[in-house]
Amino acid sequence: MHQLAFITLAFWLTNTADECLGTPGEIFIPLQSALRMRFSDDIFRQLSGVVEYLFKKHVKQIIIPPQQQCFPEGCIKIQNFQLIAHQNPSHVGVVPTPPNLLTLRISGFSFYIAGTLYGQLQPIPLLPVVTVSTYGTLAISANQLVVEATFDIQKTVDNVPYIRVVSCSLINDVTVAQVENMGLLTVIVNTKYQYEITIKTREILEETLCTTVNNVVNDELNSQLYQIPSQISISDLYRMLFEKKNNTDGQKMKRAVGSEPNYLQVPTQLEIQTTSRRDTLQESHLNRSSRLFDRSSHGNDIESVVLNSSSDFSIAIALQKSKKVLPSINNNLEISRRKLALLILSLNILDTSATYGRFFTGLDGDNPYHRPERLQFSKVIDESAVDLLISEFIINTLFLKAHIIGALVFSVNSITPVLGKLIRTSCTVDEVCLSDLVPEVAEAYPNKQLEIILHTTQPPKAVISTGIATVMLEGRATFLIEETTEKIGMIPFSTTIQCNVVSLPGRIGGFIKIKKLQFHEHIDFLNLSLQSMNGFKEAAKRAMMKMANEMFKEGINLNESTASRLSNTSISLVNGAILLQTKLDIERSFYQQMPTSL
C-alpha cells in the first residue's frame, strides 16, 4: 500500500514538474475546455512594452492626496505634492507565473517630489510647553525603485473578463525625505523626525505607485479587454485568417484562392428573397440554435434531440422557388457569408493557467458534445507565436449547427468545374457525360443540363489526427433540370473524405481523397437499380477529387497583408485538434498611436 502511494506521488510530481517547466506536451484541463490558447514569449515582450508606455504616461499624471503625520510632540500636514523630476524605468517586464498569475516588475526608476509642510510641534525638549508653528518644504528623493505586482484573470457576472490586481508592493528603494526651508528648526526637525518622515514617505510612494499600476490596468488594459467579443462567427474568423484587406480603402478583396468561383454554390432561392425575409429567417435560425444549444434547458438530452433533426426544411425551400436566373459569384459568396455568420463560437473563458514562460486560457466553444478529456499542445514550433488549439469537438459542433440551420446545402450546376460537364445528358464523342454512364437519362431528358442539390441528412462527423482530417457524412442528392424546378430523381448517399493538410509558408496546402462513396437503398432515379448507378458513382467520385485537388494544388493563402494584426500564420492538424499558430501585433491592435520604439 505504501509503495502504491509512493508511485502515485512520484507520477504527480513528474506531471507537476513538466507543467511548471513548460515542457512539450503541456496539458491543462480544469474545466475540459474545447478551445485552448497558449501565449508565448513575444506576447509578453509586447505586453511589457505596452505597460511601460502606459506607466510613463500615467506617472506624469500622478496626484498624491494631502497627508498628515503625528508625533508625540504634535502633528504636521503635507500637501501640494509636485513631481519635480523623474527618471524612467530601466526595465519593465510582464511574465507568466504558476499556477495562473501574471507578474509585473518595474525597476530602475526614480522620483523627486516636493510638498508643502506645516503644523504645530514642540521640537525643543528643554521647553516642552512651547509649541512652535512650523512651515517649510518636504523634499523626497526616491531612487532605485522596484515595484512588483501580480494579476489574474477574473470574470464579471456577465462573463466579461477583466484583469485583477492580486498584490502590489514596493520591493526595493533608496528613499530619503527631509525638511527644508524651516529656518532655525530645519536641523532640529530633520534630526528628530527624519526617520519617521522617511517611513511615512515610503508608504505614500508605495500607495501612489500601486494606485498608478491599478489605473493602468483598469483604465487602459481592461477597457481594451472589454472590447474583445464574447463570441465570434465563423464568417468573421474566415475573414480574419483568409481575406486580405486593401491598405488604402480597406475594401475586401477576393477569396484567397484567387478569382475562382464558389464551385459548390448554395441554392438560388435564398438570393431572391427580400431583405426582410432573409433577416427574419436568420433571426429564426439564431433563436432556434440558441434554444437547441442552451445546456441549462436541454442538459444531456441535447444530442438525441439534434441528431434526429434533418434538413428537409432547407431542401424544400430550395425547390419551391423558380430558378430563372443563375446568381452571380459575388451573390453566392454573400449568401455563404450570411450562413457562416449564423455559426457562432463562444469565447467565454473557463480557466487560466501558467508555466514559467507561457500562459494558457481555456475557452468554452459552446460545445454540446461530450467535452474532450484533454487538450494537449504539441512541441512549440515558434516561440513568438500565439497558439490556438481547436478540438475536433468544436469542428463537430459547427457541423451540427450548420446541419440544423441548413447551411450544408450546395448546388452543382453548369458553372461547376468538372462536375458541371459530367451532369449533362448529351455531349460530344470526345467528352464524358451522364448519358455515357446512365443512357436512360439521355433518353428521357435529351440535351439537358442538370443541376444537383446536395444536402446533409445527418450532422457530419470529423476525426482529426496528425496531418489528416477524416470527414464522414450522409446526405441526399436531388437532381433537377437546371433553371427549373422539374425534379428528375433523388439518391441517398454516404461518403468518407480524407483531407491531408500541409502547412506551407503563408498558406495551407493538401490533398483530398474520397475513401468511400456509397449510394443507398430507396434510390429514386428513373426506376434504376443501385448497380446501374455504379458507373456514375465512380465518375462523380473522380470528378470531385479532381475539382477539390485543383483548388488546393497551389494552396490557400493566409492573410499576410500589412493591414492585418496577424502574421507568420500557420495551420496544422494534430491529434484531436486543429493547431493555429500566429504572431499577434497587440501593440498596434490596442494602441494605434503608440510609438514604434518605446
Kindly write down the DSSP assignment for every residue of 196-263, as one continuous string: HHHHHHHHHHHHHHHHHHHHIIIIIIHHHHTTS-SEEEHHHHHHHHH--B-TTT--B---TT-S---S
pLDDT of residue 127: 54
| Exposure of 431 in the CB half-sphere (CA atoms within 13 A) | 14
Nearest to 387 by CA among 418, 361, 350: 361
Asked, as a colleague might, if the bond just before 99 is cis with ω within 30 of 0, I would say yes
| Cell numbers representing residue 246 in the block | 486593401
pLDDT of residue 87: 95
Output the CA–CA distances (angstroms, integers) from residue 509 to 257, 499, 541, 554, in the order listed: 11, 10, 21, 7
pLDDT of residue 319: 45
pLDDT of residue 405: 87
CB count in 10 Å sphere of residue 329:
17
pLDDT of residue 371: 58
Give the separation between CA 572 and CA 268, rounded to whole angstroms. 34
Return phi, psi of residue 527, to 5°: 60, 25
Using the structure block, give the residue that is written with the C-alpha cell 505634492. 81
Residues 520-537 as b or e (16 or more Cβ within 10 Å = b): eeebebbebeeebbeebb
| Pair 559, 242: CB distance under 8 Å | yes
Nearest to 141 by CA among 168, 167, 115: 115
Output the CA–CA distances (angstroms, integers) from residue 581 to 249, 296, 377, 407, 465, in the order listed: 28, 34, 11, 28, 17
Output the CA–CA distances (angstroms, integers) from residue 568 to 384, 390, 557, 571, in the order listed: 10, 18, 12, 10
Beta bridge partners of 141: 112, 176
pLDDT of residue 583: 87
User: Which helix (H) or strand (E) is 298 found in, with range?
Assistant: helix 295-298
Instruction: Report which residue type is found at 399.
Output: F
pLDDT of residue 293: 30
User: Which helix (H) or strand (E) is 91 found in, with range?
Assistant: strand 91-97
* Cα-trace Rg, the chain: 34
pLDDT of residue 10: 38
List Cβ neighbours of 282 (8 Å cut-off, separation of 6 or more): 338, 341, 342
Tell me the torsion sign for CA atoms 372, 373, 378, 384. positive
Angle at 521 between CA 518 and CA 524, to 5 degrees: 105
CB count in 10 Å sphere of residue 219:
11
**Alpha-carbon 88 to chain mean position:** 34
List Cβ neighbours of 336 (8 Å cut-off, separation of 6 or more): 262, 266
Query: Which stretches of the chain drop beneath a pLDDT of 50?
Result: 1-31, 246-330, 594, 596-598
List Cβ neighbours of 33 (8 Å cut-off, separation of 6 or more): 350, 351, 362, 363, 364, 365, 371, 375
Q: Percentages helix, strand, coil for the chain, rounded to the nearest 5?
A: 35, 35, 30
Give the separation between CA 579 and CA 388, rounded to whole angstroms. 6
Using the structure block, give the residue that is written with the C-alpha cell 494552396. 555
pLDDT of residue 128: 56
Angle at 409 between CA 403 and CA 412, to 5 degrees: 155
Residues 134-153 as b or e (16 or more Cβ within 10 Å = b): bebbbbbbbeebbbbbbbeb
Using the structure block, give the residue that is written with the C-alpha cell 445546456. 295
Q: Is 63 helix (H, G, I), strand (E, B) or coil?
A: coil
Give the separation between CA 487 and CA 525, rounded to whole angstroms. 10
Extended strands (E) in 378-424:
386-391, 409-412
Which DSSP string do the residues of 161-208 spell out, in sequence order? EEEEEEEEEEEEEEEEEEEES-TTHHHHHHHHHHHHHHHHHHHHHHHH
Output the CA–CA distances (angstroms, integers) from residue 172 to 145, 158, 205, 531, in the order listed: 6, 39, 11, 85
**Alpha-carbon 173 to chain mean position:** 41
Name the DSSP class of 328.
P
pLDDT of residue 54: 92
